[in-house]
Amino acid sequence: MADVAARRAAFRTLHASGCFLIPNPWDIGSARYLQGLGFKALATTSSGFAFSRGRPDSAAAVPLEMTLAHFEEIVAASDLPVNADFQAGYADGPEGVAANVRRCLETGVAGLSIEDSTGDAQRPLYDLGLAKERIKAARDAIDASHTGVLLTARAECYLVETADPLRESVRRLEAYAEAGADVLYAPGPRERADIKTIIDAVAPKPVNVLMGWHSGLQLSDLAELGARRVSVGSALARAAWTGFIRAARAMAETGRFDGLHGAAPFAEINDFFESSRAILGMPLRSPPHRHLRHRVRHADRAVSSVRVPALSRHPAGGIHPRGAHQGREPQGPPLVALSGRDPRPRCSSPAPRRRPGPSRPAAPRSR
């Protein structure tokens, strides 16, 4: 595993100029595959992870211990910098946010995001004064750690459907920039003009733009608008679920196997993970870290007594506002072998790599 300090420095450098795409894996396999495609950083997705554990996307269903264990798992899965979707910091008050941020830093992440959504439908956003104090507390905790971890502040105005989400997002992001956030992020806007307004309002601070749907915009378009970082949230996880759901429903409802047409061959996937295991220097049997196993067991016990709230459907689709972005199923590239660092400019999405041949490749591993 690459040095954590080096990964954090690399992540900060990525935000210095240009525009880069940071995809969101939800487990070890998806993280390693994304590294094989040549991406330079990864970001977790709380909803993608929650769905993989059979849970809705909420702090009640996926508690702190389970989330921290997941961060450790994704950090260990590759040698890329990882940005952690830390939801609202698992606390209401600034002191609790600071304490949990300190724990998050121990997982080895290169960045983390704190959002202003309360999870309460009656009061969906923290009052701006408190929300700003929470970001300031996270900033102070990171500074005291001397880790150089990047802090992203999220304004959830679009996702909770405030009356004027653009204006309120700008107001909040400006306040979060004053509180010390390194990166600003308002997931939800789809129109070029709205995205540009947010970017210009907080310039020269870098802005993350969410592309969790098919909008017609490409990475180069977002770069022209001034976006520094582009993420996809739960979109890749939902694309995987889409293929699974279609195939499984066809079997259950018609007894047909049409949904399996075009599935990647076993050998192609298996060869990829054989090569990635060799490159990462992993033994054939790699038991989870004892500390990680303890965290997962502890989290599972904690969740067993939690009553998961009833699911509600967001108007945009999905089960939860933070995982509700819905779009056309992406047409993914063929599985590829893990390869060396890609020298392409950051404002370009990774170009297709050559498929692995019959033999199992052992190409040098990228970040």
Q: How many CA atoms lie within 13 A of 88 on its CB side?
A: 24
Laid out side by side, the sheet with 111-115 consists of 20-22, 229-231, 207-210, 183-185, 150-154, 111-115, 82-85, 42-43
> In 3D, which of 232, 188, 264, 307 has the Cα closest to residue 48?
232
Tokens describing residue 253: 């409802």
Q: Please, are residues 207 and 183 in contact by the beta-carbon 8 Å criterion?
A: yes
Is the pLDDT score of 10 beyond 90?
Answer: yes
Q: Please, are residues 188 and 220 in contact by the beta-carbon 8 Å criterion?
A: no
Close Cβ partners of 240 (under 8 Å, ≥ 6 residues apart): 30
Q: pLDDT-derived band of residue 2, with 50, 70 and 90 as boundaries?
A: low
Each residue's pLDDT tens digit, 76-124: 999 999 999 999 999 999 999 999 999 999 999 999 999 999 999 999 9
Give the CA angle between residues 197, 149, 77 to the nearest 5°: 105
DSSP track, 65-121: HHHHHHHHHHHHH-SS-EEEE-TTTT-SSHHHHHHHHHHHHTTT-SEEEEE-B-S-T
> In 3D, which of 224, 232, 178 has the Cα closest to residue 201?
178
Residue 107 burial class via C-beta count within 10 angstroms: exposed 0-12, middle 13-18, buried 19 and up: buried
Q: Please, are residues 35 and 361 in contact by the beta-carbon 8 Å criterion?
A: no
DSSP at 306: -
Q: Please, are residues 198 and 170 in contact by the beta-carbon 8 Å criterion?
A: yes
Peptide bond into 343 cis (omega under 30): no
Close Cβ partners of 159 (under 8 Å, ≥ 6 residues apart): 117, 187, 188, 314, 321, 322, 324
pLDDT on residue 276: 77
Which domains, and CATH codes, for the chain? 1-343 (3.20.20.60)
Each residue's pLDDT tens digit, 28-51: 999 999 999 999 999 999 999 999
- Between the two ends of the chain, the Cα-to-Cα distance in Å is 9
**What are the backbone dihedrals phi and psi of residue 151, each rounded to the nearest 5 degrees, phi first?**
-105, 120
Each residue's pLDDT tens digit, 175-189: 999 999 999 999 999
Q: pLDDT-derived band of residue 303, with 50, 70 and 90 as boundaries?
A: very low
> In 3D, which of 237, 309, 301 has the Cα closest to residue 56?
309
Each residue's pLDDT tens digit, 109-164: 999 999 999 999 999 999 999 999 999 999 999 999 999 999 999 999 999 999 99
pLDDT on residue 356: 43
Return d(Cα 130, Cα 200) in angstroms, integer. 25
Close Cβ partners of 362 (under 8 Å, ≥ 6 residues apart): 275, 278, 279
Mean pLDDT value across the chain = 83
Q: Please, are residues 189 and 170 in contact by the beta-carbon 8 Å criterion?
A: no
- Residue 364: CB atoms within 10 Å: 9
